[in-house]
Amino acid sequence: MLEVDVAVIGGGAAGLAAAIKAAENSKVILLDRNDELGGVLPQCIHDGFGNFIFKKMLTGPEYTQFFIDKIEDLPVDVKLETTVIDIKKDKRIIAISREGLLEIQAKAVVLAMGCRERTRNQILIPGYRPAGIYTAGTAQRLINIDGILPGRRVVILGSGDIGLIMARRFKLEGAEVIGVYEIQSSPNGLPRNIVQCLEDYNIPLHLSHTVVNIHGLKRVEGVTVAKVDGNLQPIKGTEQFIPCDTLILAVGLIPENELSKEIGIPIDTVTGGPFVDNYMETMIPGFFACGNVVQVYDLVDDVTLTGEIAGRYASFYAKGILNQTRRIPVFRGRGIDRVVPQFIREDSKDVTLYLRVKNIIRDAKIYVRDPNDNIIYETKRRIVKPAVMEKIRFTLKGFYGNLTVGVER
């Protein structure tokens, strides 16, 4: 049995950052099921990563190369093609690898398994099950890592950033992209991607539309699309058959928490990830979580930052120098859809909260209140949107009790 201070599960942006940070003062093992480090970043060949940390617009591979180079210079035990199948409450980890069954005893564990894509099953599109239906990420991997173009005439469902990026990618590789269909009445992706991935290439975006049927027995031969009403229900009589050989699904991401649930770590049903405090510790002592396993972040920079926090405090825990203090809950107040972390350690000073609002508000005021409704922090934004995660930072001066975050005009 291997014995380590900190075991990091997952070698994407979050896990890399956590392992690098934890290695500053403890013995670290990093486990990943893929054959190379970086998680999803090596296949995200477009630019736009690292604006916050590096002050540059890097591609995914460039962003991750920096951390891979760094970890190779550290005494971190990196195990690739190693899938963790079980983690016990006492932090014993069972994994399968090319070496056979691995047993690792850790003092602290960092969960950094990331997220996965929603599939056809989760959006219930009827029809046959022919070849030619891919999630956007699978198509991205096929094209950018394996060098395979999975289709020639493509329909994309969902206007999230991955869907938009793949529309451009298919076009550049010579495929015909018939259009992007979005069930909501406004696009999900960043304006930058609407402009540079669709408008630049004359790819139409059809809002309030969805795919209601998939045709073809062996290979996709077409899809039926329809307009939807205010309740997102298809409107009879608006159906239209579109011949195509490929349907790309870009319909959202879900934090991947099967392992966390088996350990018994409490999960926030709003975010789909573990409840964490501002040290990224879950509700079970010594288990930390970071990056997209906690919630799906907009920016990889924030994934890295949460990874560094989790790594640092996991190593403190392993060394027995992490103070156990009470935690103050942070409640979702008016206009707030979600907030992470959901708890703040009482002995904290500087606090960062990530939040999503429920509605678009111009000239918005985001505030934090104590139990007596005193405002302890306030900041203004010209506009807040559900599609854009907000980040607020403030300093705690003394004890407040429960905090509530809200937003108003």
Partner 1 sequence: MKITCIKCPLSCSIDIKKEEGGLKIEGYECEVGRRYAIEEMEKPMRILTTTVAVKKGIHPVLPVRTEKEIPKNLLFDAIEILSNIIVEAPIQYGDIVYRNICGTGVNVIASRDIKRI
Q: Residues interacting with partner 1, by CB under 8 A?
A: 42, 45-47, 57, 59-62, 64-65, 143-147, 172-173, 190-192, 194-196, 199-200, 382-385, 388
Q: Which is nearer to partner 1, 171 or 369 (CB)?
A: 171
Q: 343 — phi, psi (to 5°)?
A: -135, 150
Distance CA 260, CA 276 (A): 12
Quick one: which H or E segment has residue 383? strand 375-384
Residue closer to partner 1 by CB (options 84, 197) is 197
State the Cα–Cα distance between residues 142 and 163, nearest whole angstrom: 15
Name the residue nearer to partner 1 (CB basis): 131 or 361.
361
To the nearest whole angstrom, how small is the minimum distance from the Cβ of residue 38 to partner 1? 9
Q: Among residues 246, 287, 281, which one has the least CA distance to residue 263?
A: 287
Q: What's CA 76's distance to the chain center, in Å? A: 24
Q: Which helix (H) or strand (E) holds 277?
A: none
Q: Return the number of the residue (227 or 391) whose C-beta is nearest partner 1.
A: 391
Q: How many residues does the chain have?
A: 409
Q: Which helix (H) or strand (E) holds 165?
A: helix 161-172
- Looking at residue 315, its amino acid is S
Cβ within 8 Å of residue 236, ≥6 positions away: none
Backbone angles phi, psi at 198, to 5 degrees: -105, -60
Smallest distance, partner 1 to C-beta of residue 59, A: 5
Q: How far is the CB of 20 from partner 1 (least distance, A)?
A: 18
Least distance to partner 1 from the beta carbon of 338, Å? 18
- Contact residues for 204 (Cβ-Cβ < 8 A; gap 6+): 178, 179, 180, 198
Structure-derived torsion over alpha carbons of residues 284, 286, 291, 297, reported in degrees to the nearest 10: 40
Residue 65 or residue 83: which is nearer to partner 1 going by CB?
Answer: 65
CB of 190 to partner 1, least distance (A): 8
| Cβ nearer to partner 1, comparing 17 with 389 | 389
Q: How far is the CB of 201 from partner 1 (least distance, A)?
A: 9
Closest distance of CB 144 from partner 1, Å:
6
- Least separation, in Å, of the C-beta of 161 and partner 1? 13
Nearer to partner 1, 17 or 58 (CB): 58
**What single-letter DSSP state applies at residue 365?**
E
CA atoms of 311 and 279, how far apart (whole Å): 9
Picking from 160, 94, 175, 81, the residue whose alpha carbon sits closest to that of residue 123 is 160
Which is closer to partner 1, CB of 195 or CB of 232? 195
